[in-house]
Amino acid sequence: MKKVTLLILSFFLSSIVFPCTNFIVTKGASADGSTFLAYTNDGEWIYHLDKTPAKNHKFGDSLEFSGRFGAKGKIHQVSHTYAVIGFQMNEHQVAVGETTFVGREELWNKSKYLEYWHLMRLALERAKTAREAIKIMTELVEQYGYGSEGESFSIADPNEAWILEMIGTGDGGEGAVWVAVKIPDGYISAHANMARIGEFSLDDPENCLYSANIISFAVENGYYDTDSGEPFRFNEAYCPSTPERLKYCESRVWSLFNRAAPSKNLSSDYCRGVKNTERYPLFIKPDKKIKLENVMDLIRDHYEGTDFDMTKGIDAGPFGSPSRWGPLSWENDSLKYSWERPISIFNSAFSYIAQLRSWLPNELGGIAWFGVDDTFFSCYFPVYCGVTEISEPFTKGDIRNFSWESAWWTFNFVSNFSNLKYSYMKKDIQKVQHKLESKFISDQDSITEIALNLNEEERIKFLTEYSCNQGKLAHKEWVELAEFLIMKYNDGYLKNENGKITSPGYPDEWKQQMINIYPEKFNINRNR
């Protein structure tokens, strides 16, 4: 039997949990009929975007896998695998995302070798639809077991969007416990490291699928009492909430829902851990149809304009920086404290927005709008799912060595440098960001028109060249932006367009805060 080793991104081999956020917009909730899936991945690691071509395989081929804790094993290979961009989208416009909720740690079956990222990649290689991806993933864990912690997956295609939540059965156990719910057309959903599926229908396979053991396993292990009179909820059974987890995770969901549907006036009580408050619904209807640029705005968030606004207060410093370096929590006199964890967090590795369009050929209809580092200061450029190459600056970089040739390092430099004078620099950064993203979005109609007038081979070549050039343009503009910021704000000064140097100093409001805290410390006349 021939062995085929599947190469997996090295970051997943770490035991570190990488916080993430997913945001789903069904085609009926979008302004142009696209399905959108946004996926932010937080963590200090460099992700090299790549393209894996479609491939035929010989009968009897197998795949070898290794888990994080030494488990190894093989699974069967299929006769043909589809082309995949990164581990996000395939040639049939199937897109995936994930957030880890961990849940009950005793259910983490570390003796199994199929991890959640393996399932994501295998689904993309084998599925033509989101529903088929769920079938593939759940059948694989039924056959080979599941070796990861609790996980929420977003799985979308041009017509449907689903959330699949899965957890293991503990060391020595087999299979997994899982439930998948289709997001109704016209609605949006989100998850951010907490299980979100509560009650679900037991007799609606068109919209809800689940493992045979989902309730019985919970009863056997004391996670659910059938005599309680309460309905069975997957999230309460397998991912019990805590005040820390609610603040850390559900605040992101609350913010997305609150800004997409302000008319619902969703209370922040639940994400703040207030007792006897209702969970947020799994999905809601937005107040207005959502555009691509709205999705970009929604995942660029520091809770601005709310009671948790991270750009306000003394903790934001004199220039309103939302960055709060880790660890996010600490203890003092036996009391627990924590900073907020916004969607736009400083240490995002990458993010992408899948745009899936049913009315176009797959190679043209699917776009992975890709960006690196913090969503707030990233720049999303289009990568069509039919491309054969990836823009070079987004394929390179070494976490141990800074390089202007790496998009990841370039974008990280700009966002890190902005913390010196955030309220000033963000305007310069957003000016370039808006210019480029507006160009990329406005290009789409003409790119579509040109591409549709080409045969498939010519179309793929054209889209590849266009996507690569836009990535190179974004990188080039960010290198120039970095150099401009260094010049303009050197030594805390401010240079205008004519080169005149000024020293604006600190905001009066912040200086007053310092006086309030230290009434005498800065008083020149205190000893007279």
Ramachandran quadrant class, 438 (left: phi over 0; alpha: psi -120 to 50; beta: rest): alpha
In the block, which residue shows the tokens 């829902």? 257
DSSP secondary structure string for all residues of 282-336: SEE--SSPBPHHHHHHHTS-S-TTSTT-TTSSGGGTTTT----PSP-EEEETTEE
How far are the Cα atoms of 268, 305, 309 from residue 274, in angstroms, in the given order? 9, 21, 19
Cis peptide bond upstream of 327, omega within 30: yes
Type of residue at 468: C
Q: Which of 232, 248, 112, 139 has the alpha carbon at shortest distance from 192?
A: 248
pLDDT at 525: 84
pLDDT tens digits in sequence order for the chain, 528 residues long: 334 333 334 344 333 445 899 999 999 999 999 999 999 999 999 999 999 999 999 999 999 999 999 999 999 999 999 999 999 999 999 999 999 999 999 999 999 999 999 999 999 999 999 999 999 999 999 999 999 999 999 999 999 999 999 999 999 999 999 999 999 999 999 999 999 999 999 999 999 999 999 999 999 999 999 999 999 999 999 999 999 999 999 999 999 999 999 999 999 999 999 999 999 999 999 999 999 999 999 999 999 999 999 999 999 999 999 999 999 999 999 999 999 999 999 999 999 999 999 999 999 999 999 999 999 999 999 999 999 999 999 999 999 999 999 999 999 999 999 999 999 999 999 999 999 999 999 999 999 999 999 999 999 999 999 999 999 999 999 999 999 999 999 999 999 989 899 999 999 999 999 999 999 999 998 776
Whether the model clears a pTM of 0.85, i.e. scores above it, the answer is: yes
Q: What is the pairing mode between strands 329-332 and 283-284?
A: unpaired
pLDDT at 14: 39
CA–CA separation, 350 and 9 (whole Å)? 13
pLDDT at 19: 84
In the block, which residue shows the tokens 């804790």? 69
pLDDT at 302: 98
CA–CA separation, 425 and 413 (whole Å)? 13
- State which H helix or E strand residue 441 sits in: helix 422-452
Q: Is 78 helix (H, G, I), strand (E, B) or coil?
A: coil
CA–CA separation, 257 and 266 (whole Å)? 8
pLDDT at 18: 57
351 DSSP β-pair partners: 40, 371
CA–CA separation, 315 and 311 (whole Å)? 8
